[in-house]
């Protein structure tokens, strides 16, 4: 009798297991393999693609490769028949001019103006005098501005330093931003900041100042750019500062010495002809999200859309990096996620051709501009091809090809982030898919809004979550090659890349075929909805 009971229990258990797994889901998952992963990633992360920078040749090549794949497997182009969703994006540079007594100074050698401080309108001014105001300090026992009327003046100050004996030789003369705010509040015409680091400008600062600011032309951004110009701030090196002081027969060193010896300010008007201007320059950037659409098979459910995303862009070439390898191939970040999307799309396309397609529609979308600030996914969330109200979930894949130091002993894991932030249903479905099909360790240590790394806010899923759409973010953690040329295909764990992609696939299968979409039962702050 005990033996018969044990046999019956075993049969029932086997039956439950069979029910938990969908044979069709398993059958069409077989194309998600390490070999197919290598096929795609060896192209996307090759040197030929130059790090897939947004708005650059390598990025366009990657977009074309993804489009060709979507087309070849039978996905539809949902953007008026095309696979590209163009993003209205521009590069803003800054044209800067400074002349002293009619002699032009050289940008990035003699002076610079921070591009982010220049509005669309820009600025231009000229003056016949500059007010030298020492260290720009206003504190008990010492005031560089005592008795001075600052309104309408062009004021020149040291970026740092303090003349008091207790601070002699220390670089602690107050925060430069606070100094600038004080002068701005007092309605000065412009601020000139004496910054000795310009005399031997670090490469990273020079590269930043030379780089263009990539901006999407959304209404919010355009309104911000068109806002009023703040107080112009010009940073000058010591040679340029001494040119300005020349008419007063003073030098920086002489004035510093005088202030130090007397303990009193040496503020004074300098008669000098000075002109300055700065304005934005605009250049159109080709950038696009790549979308492939698989229509659902159920007439009642096909208007609901599951969105699966990864970003195909990376950071391109960094010329100042040490060593010969200057191409940031981005094999893991996020060539691995993009590869995952391509394989998952292929699996679902094969299922549809065999008459086993998903009931709901699926949008496979690789986005650009993630490394510039989640730009591509933000553009889609502002200008969606399918209504956000019909979007049931976003499954986002960003780095699934490697691991991190915390899992060095066992790479059979993936971090999941956001799955329970908005929907208990989605959390349950995602974890059940792992238990039924994949059986890897799901690490949730970063699955909170107060994580100091802020991973929940740092990839493309967030531009869906902020609109109340449930999300799961799949991630293998940060490694030593993060945003470095060492993020190469040779370091990819292809079996684990395929296994993690299968987890996303099986989760998508359950979502796309479920009787109901995941219920959003939590608010953005994590509290339960009534």
Q: Is the distance from CB of 356 to CB of 441 less than 8 angstroms?
A: no
Please tell me whether residue 289 adopts helix, strand or coil conformation. Answer: strand
Indicate whether 359 and 218 sit together in one domain.
Answer: no
- Report the run of H or E that residue 394 belongs to, with start and end: strand 391-397
Lowest mean pLDDT among 84-88, 210-214, 235-239, 512-516: 210-214
Cis (ω within 30 of 0) for the bond into 334? yes
Tokens representing 404 are 């991190």
Q: pLDDT higher for 221 or 230?
A: 230
pLDDT of residue 405: 97
pLDDT of residue 414: 98
Percent pLDDT > 70 in the chain is: 95
Indicate whether 158 and 307 sit together in one domain.
Answer: no
pLDDT of residue 169: 45
Domain containing residue 384: 34-87+287-513
Would residue 485 count as lying in a domain?
Answer: yes
Angle between helical axes of 494-513 and 34-44 (0-180°, round to 10):
100
pLDDT of residue 210: 83
- Distance from chain centroid for Cα 436: 34
pLDDT of residue 484: 96
pLDDT of residue 445: 97
Structure confidence at residue 173 as a pLDDT band (50, 70, 90): low
Would residue 23 count as lying in a domain?
Answer: no
What CATH number is associated with residue 180? 3.50.30.30
pLDDT, one tens digit per residue, over 411-461 is: 999 999 999 999 999 999 999 999 999 999 999 999 999 999 999 999 999
Tokens representing 153 are 């003046």
Indicate whether 276 and 295 sit together in one domain.
Answer: no
Would residue 223 count as lying in a domain?
Answer: yes
Structure confidence at residue 3 as a pLDDT band (50, 70, 90): very low
Indicate whether 65 and 137 sit together in one domain.
Answer: no
Indicate whether 126 and 152 sit together in one domain.
Answer: yes
pLDDT of residue 165: 53
pLDDT of residue 389: 98
Average pLDDT, the chain: 92
User: Is the pLDDT confidence value at 15 over 60?
Assistant: no
Structure confidence at residue 387 as a pLDDT band (50, 70, 90): very high
Q: How many structural domains compose the chain?
A: 2
pLDDT of residue 43: 98
Mean pLDDT for the stretch of residues 227-254: 94
pLDDT of residue 244: 97
213: closest CA among 31, 91, 72?
Answer: 91
Lowest mean pLDDT among 48-57, 206-215, 255-264, 279-288: 206-215
User: Is the pLDDT confidence value at 355 over 60?
Assistant: yes
Indicate whether 210 and 347 sit together in one domain.
Answer: no
pLDDT, one tens digit per residue, over 489-507 is: 999 999 999 999 999 999 9
201: closest CA among 111, 137, 72, 95?
Answer: 111
- Report the run of H or E that residue 89 belongs to, with start and end: strand 89-100
Indicate whether 277 and 293 sit together in one domain.
Answer: no
pLDDT, one tens digit per residue, over 245-284 is: 998 999 999 999 999 999 999 999 999 999 999 998 889 9
pLDDT of residue 457: 97
Structure confidence at residue 13 as a pLDDT band (50, 70, 90): very low
Indicate whether 165 and 310 sit together in one domain.
Answer: no
- Residue in the structure block whose two tokens are 């430069």: 176
Structure confidence at residue 10 as a pLDDT band (50, 70, 90): very low
User: Is the pLDDT confidence value at 133 over 60?
Assistant: yes
- Report the run of H or E that residue 14 belongs to, with start and end: helix 2-20
Residue that finishes a domain, picked among 235, 265, 283: 283
Q: Please tell me what DSSP assigns to residue 331.
A: I
Whole-model pTM: value is 0.83
pLDDT, one tens digit per residue, over 73-117 is: 999 999 999 999 999 999 988 999 999 999 999 999 999 999 888
Within 10 angstroms of residue 387's Cβ, the number of other Cβ atoms is: 9
């Amino acid at each position: 009798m005990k033996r018969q009971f044990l046999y019956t229990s075993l049969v029932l258990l086997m039956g439950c297991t069979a029910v938990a797994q969908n044979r069709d889901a398993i059958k069409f998952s077989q194309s998600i393999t390490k070999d197919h992963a290598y096929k795609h990633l060896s192209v996307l992360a090759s040197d030929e693609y130059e790090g897939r920078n947004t708005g650059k040749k390598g990025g366009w090549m990657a977009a074309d490769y993804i489009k060709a794949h979507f087309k070849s497997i039978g996905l539809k182009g949902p953007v008026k028949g095309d696979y590209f969703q163009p993003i209205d994006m521009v590069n803003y540079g800054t044209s800067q001019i400074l002349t002293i007594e009619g002699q032009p100074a050289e940008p990035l050698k003699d002076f610079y103006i921070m591009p982010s401080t220049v509005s669309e309108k820009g600025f231009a001014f000229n003056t016949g005098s500059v007010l030298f105001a020492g260290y720009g300090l206003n504190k008990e026992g010492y005031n560089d501005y005592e008795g001075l009327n600052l309104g309408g003046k062009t004021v020149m100050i040291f970026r740092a330093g303090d003349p008091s004996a207790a601070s002699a030789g220390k670089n602690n003369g107050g925060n430069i931003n606070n100094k600038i705010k004080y002068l701005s509040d007092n309605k000065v015409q412009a601020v000139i900041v004496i910054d000795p680091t310009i005399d031997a400008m670090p490469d990273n600062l020079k590269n930043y100042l030379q780089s263009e600011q990539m901006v999407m032309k959304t209404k919010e951004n355009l309104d911000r750019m068109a806002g009023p110009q703040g107080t112009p701030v010009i940073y000058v090196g010591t040679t340029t500062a001494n040119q300005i002081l020349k008419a007063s027969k003073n030098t920086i060193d002489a004035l510093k010495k005088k202030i130090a010896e007397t303990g009193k300010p040496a503020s004074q008007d300098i008669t000098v002809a000075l002109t300055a201007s700065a304005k934005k320059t605009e250049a159109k950037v080709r950038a696009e999200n790549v979308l492939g659409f698989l229509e659902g098979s159920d007439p009642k459910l096909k208007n609901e859309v599951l969105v699966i995303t990864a970003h195909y862009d990376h950071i391109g070439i960094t010329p100042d990096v040490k060593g010969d390898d200057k191409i940031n191939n981005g094999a893991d970040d996020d060539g691995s996620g993009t590869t995952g999307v391509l394989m998952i799309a292929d699996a679902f396309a094969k299922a549809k051709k065999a008459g086993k397609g998903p009931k709901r529609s699926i949008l496979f979308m690789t986005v650009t501009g993630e490394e510039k600030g989640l730009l591509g996914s933000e553009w889609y969330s502002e200008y969606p091809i399918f209504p956000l109200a019909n979007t049931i979930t976003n499954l986002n894949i960003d780095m699934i090809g490697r691991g991190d130091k915390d899992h060095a002993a066992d790479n059979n894991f993936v971090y999941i982030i956001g799955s329970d932030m908005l929907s208990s249903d989605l959390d349950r479905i995602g974890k059940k898919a792992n238990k039924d099909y994949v059986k890897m360790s799901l690490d949730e240590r970063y699955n909170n809004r107060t994580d100091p790394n802020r991973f929940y806010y740092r990839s493309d899923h967030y531009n869906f979550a902020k609109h109340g759409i449930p999300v799961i973010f799949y991630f293998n953690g940060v490694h030593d090659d993060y945003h470095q040329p060492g993020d190469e295909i040779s370091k990819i764990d292809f079996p684990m890349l395929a296994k993690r992609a299968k987890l996303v696939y099986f989760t998508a299968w359950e979502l796309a075929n479920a009787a109901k979409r995941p219920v959003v039962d939590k608010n953005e702050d994590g509290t339960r909805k009534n």
